[in-house]
Amino acid sequence: MTAGRAEFRELARQLRSVNAVNRELARHLPSDCPPASAGLLSLLRRHGEIRMSELTELLGIDMSVTSRHVAHATERGWIERHPDPHDGRSRLLRLTESGDRQLDDLSERATDTLAHRLYDWPDDDIAALNALLDRLRTSFCPAQIPTARDSSKK
Amino acid sequence: MTAGRAEFRELARQLRSVNAVNRELARHLPSDCPPASAGLLSLLRRHGEIRMSELTELLGIDMSVTSRHVAHATERGWIERHPDPHDGRSRLLRLTESGDRQLDDLSERATDTLAHRLYDWPDDDIAALNALLDRLRTSFCPAQIPTARDSSKK
DNA sequence: TATTGTTATACTCTATAACTATA
DNA sequence: TATAGTTATAGAGTATAACAATA
């Protein structure tokens, strides 16, 4: 059966409250790394070498914002920008070794915070939440951008 | 069994992607109503007449930010501030009739957007996501603030 | 002294519009 | 002409610190 309006209204409330969770996670980031950089690095590891436009699609923001975030991460040596051999207008982005290490640190911090707050959650519930959130993301942003693993078939 | 670190890492990613969903919901708000006001009004309907400090706890932000948002909503006539008879330092907040109508409009917009994007979601999955997100919120912000008795009307 | 709330300031994130360079 | 990306500008959200008023 399809969901009723009361449940969608409740969902809107619950989604807003996720902001508070994300702020709490952001409080444990290193001072030179804004939350947006964490998102950037995470997507670059997941998807490998991608273009600005693809990253913009994945982030669900305007490309002007992506451009600024990428510039910030590049200044700090976490990302490299390379020309796209197939299109002179494009730039290909990828993690540097330094960015890879930075992301390891960021992931560990976020994982520590979640493990502490959700210490009593059963494994199945975390998995269920992950699955539902992944489907939510897909329902809102149905982008078809290859991940690093299957990018070989391209 | 307790969740492993890989699942927490994945959860951090999924939670970040909720930002994009919230931005999409915000795009359908009326131009004179920033997303923060929607959150304010929603909490005030749910909890009835509460104090600044309680609202701050529910929002998970600094009270200085709450103060600014409340001032904005008050200027637009959506909220009333009353002195607390039990504590001269406090102010009690509540929705005005105009704020109540405004919130009805906001809820309808958010519900329309969700119903459109999640048209193919079964009722049970929405309910499951709501339940898990509610537990997530509780795990991060275990505030004990009473809910208004008549909030189930409407 | 401690607490409640407000204000000033600065920083992050975002969108729009104008611009450059390439297709 | 159209597309990829950058930059300038403005608006919203937030935290810190300093402050006033009350407990």
CB contact under 8 A, B38 and A15: no
Interface check A131 vs B, CB under 8 A: no
What secondary structure does DSSP assign to B65-96, as a single string?
A: HHHHHHHHHHHTTSEEEEEETTEEEEEEEEE-
pLDDT over threshold 50, residue B153: no
A39 nearest nucleotide via C1' and CA: C13
pLDDT over threshold 70, residue B1: no
CB contact under 8 A, B11 and A114: yes
Question: How distant is C1' of C19 from CA of B49, in Å?
Answer: 51
Which pLDDT band, with edges at 50, 70 and 90, does A3 fall under?
low
What's the pLDDT score for residue A2?
59
- Helices first, then strands: H and E counts in chain A: 6, 3
Q: At what angle do helices B52-59 and B35-47 cross, to 10 degrees?
A: 120
- Our measurement of the distance from residue B65's CA atom to the centroid of its chain's CA atoms, rounded to an integer in Å, reads 15
Of A14, A110, A123, the CB nearest to B7: A123
Q: Nucleotides on strand D with an atom closer than 7 A to protein CB?
A: 3-8, 12-18, 21-23
Of B21, B60, B107, the CB nearest to A9: B107
Q: Tens digit of pLDDT for each residue in B27-78? A: 999 999 999 999 999 999 999 999 999 999 999 999 999 999 999 999 999 9
Which pLDDT band, with edges at 50, 70 and 90, does A152 fall under?
very low
- More confidently predicted of A118 and B153: A118
**What is the rounded average pLDDT for all residues in chain B?**
93
**C-beta pairs of A120-126 under 8 Å, 24+ apart in sequence:** A121/B2, A121/B3, A121/B135, A121/B139, A122/B1, A122/B2, A122/B3, A123/B1, A123/B2, A123/B3, A123/B4, A123/B7, A125/B3, A125/B132, A125/B135, A126/B3, A126/B7, A126/B8, A126/B11
Residue type, B117: R
Q: Tens digit of pLDDT for each residue in A25-48? A: 999 999 999 999 999 999 999 999
Query: What does the pLDDT average to over B70-98?
Result: 97
Residue type, B61: I
Q: Tens digit of pLDDT for each residue in A70-85? A: 999 999 999 999 999 9
Interface check B20 vs A, CB under 8 A: yes
Token pair, residue B106, equals 């906001």
Domains, chain B, in order of start with CATH, read 31-142 (1.10.10.10)
C-alpha distance from B14 to closest chain A C-alpha (Å)? 6
Q: B 65-84 residues with CB below 8 A of A?
A: none
Interface check A128 vs B, CB under 8 A: yes
Cβ-Cβ contacts under 8 Å for B25 (sequence gap 6 or more): A12, A15, B35, B110, B113, B114
Residues in chain A with CB shorter than 8 Å from the CB of B16 are 22, 35, 38-39, 42
Interface check B137 vs A, CB under 8 A: yes
Q: Tens digit of pLDDT for each residue in A121-144? A: 999 999 999 999 999 999 998 777
Interface check B131 vs A, CB under 8 A: no
DSSP H stretches of helix in chain B? 5-26, 35-47, 52-59, 63-75, 97-117, 123-140
Token pair, residue B102, equals 């405004």
Report the SS3 class of residue A98.
helix
